Amino acid sequence: MQPLYEGKAKRLYTTQDQDVLRIVYKDEATAFNGEKKAEFAGKGELNNRLTSHFFEVLAAAGIPTHFIEQTSEREQLVRRVTIIPLEVVVRNVVAGSLSKRLGIEEGTVLETPIVEFYYKDDSLGDPLVTPAHINLLKIATTEELSLLEQEANRVNDVLRPYFDEKGITLIDFKLEYGKTPAGEILLADEISPDTCRLWDKETGEHLDKDVFRRNIGSLIDTYQTLFNRLGGNGQ
Ligand code: C5P
C-alpha cells in the first residue's frame, strides 16, 4: 500500500476507517533539516514504544491526543487530523537554538518555561515565528494560538515531573498539533528522544538525538538506555 504521507521518521497510511491512520516508525534518523541522515536498526521500534507510552501518560492526565493504540512493534493507530504547520517548542532549560540565538550558556535553568513557535516549512528551514507572523500566514487564530500555548504548558506540567522522578531533566521538546474534521485540536505527531532533550540529572548525560546531531555517542544505545530507565516498557 502507498503511504498517504512519508516524513523523515514515519510513514502514514490510511485504514478502512477514514478517521483513523496507521503510523509506521522508520529506522531513519535525520538532523539539520535532513542534511545529516543515517539508519539505525531498532530506532523505529524504540520511538514507537516510547511515543505510545508518553501519549498514554498524557491521556491519563486528561490531555487530548491523536493516539489510539500501539498495534505492533513499529506501528500505532491514531485519529486522522490535519497538522497545523507549527512546531511548538517548550523549554525549561537553555539548550540548542535558544543558546545559539541569544548567547546564553546551555544548561541555564529558565525561571519559567518558554513556549516558541516555528513555522513548519523545510524550504524556509522552519523559522521562528511570532504571533503576528502566524496571523499574517493565517496558520492559526489568536484564540487557537493561546490554546496551543496553554496545552503545550500542560504537557510540560505532566512530563517534567514524570521524567524528574526517573532522574532525568526534561530540557526542551517539540510538539505538533492537528485538527480533526470537527475542528477539535489534538496533540499529534510523536514525543520521543528525537523530539525532546533529556539530560541525566546527576551526570548531565544526553539521552536524546543530540548524541547523533553532535556525534557524541551511539543513538541506539542511548535510546535503549532511556527506554530501560523508564522501566523497560516505558512504564
Ligand atoms: O534546535 P532547538 O534547540 O530549537 O530544538 C528545541 C527542541 O525541539 C529539541 O528538543 C529538539 O529535539 C526539538 N526539535 C524537533 N524538531 C525540529 C526542531 C526541534 O523535534 N525540527
pLDDT tens across 165-218, in order? 999 999 999 999 999 999 999 999 999 999 999 999 999 999 999 999 999 999
Which of 10, 89, 90 to mutate to test ligand 1, by most ligand atoms within 8 A of the CB atom?
A: 89
Pocket, ligand 1, Cβ cutoff 6 A: 87, 89, 95-98, 126, 172-174, 195-197, 209
pTM of the model: 0.97
Which of 35, 105, 123, 172 to mutate to test ligand 1, by most ligand atoms within 8 A of the CB atom?
A: 172
pLDDT of residue 231: 87
- Residue 189 class from Cβ within 10 Å (0-12 exposed, 13-18 middle, 19+ buried)? buried
- Give residue 208 CA to ligand 1 midpoint distance, Å: 11
Q: Are residues 152 and 87 in the same domain?
A: yes
The ligand 1 atom at the shortest distance from the C-alpha of residue 89 is: 8
Query: Average pLDDT for consecutive 10-residue bins of the chain (235 residues)?
Result: 91 96 98 95 98 98 98 98 98 98 98 98 97 97 97 98 98 98 96 98 98 98 97 64
Q: Are residues 66 and 157 in the same domain?
A: no
Q: Are residues 90 and 186 in the same domain?
A: yes
- Taking alpha carbons only, the member of 180, 181, 179, 162 closest to residue 170 is 162
In a domain, 222, yes or no: no
b/e map 58-91, b = 16+ CB within 10 Å: beeeebebbbbebeeebbbbbbbbeebebbbbbb
CATH number at residue 12: 3.30.200.20
pLDDT of residue 1: 74
d(CA 57, CA 155): 10
In a domain, 226, yes or no: no
Unique residue bearing C-alpha cell 535553568: 109
In a domain, 229, yes or no: no
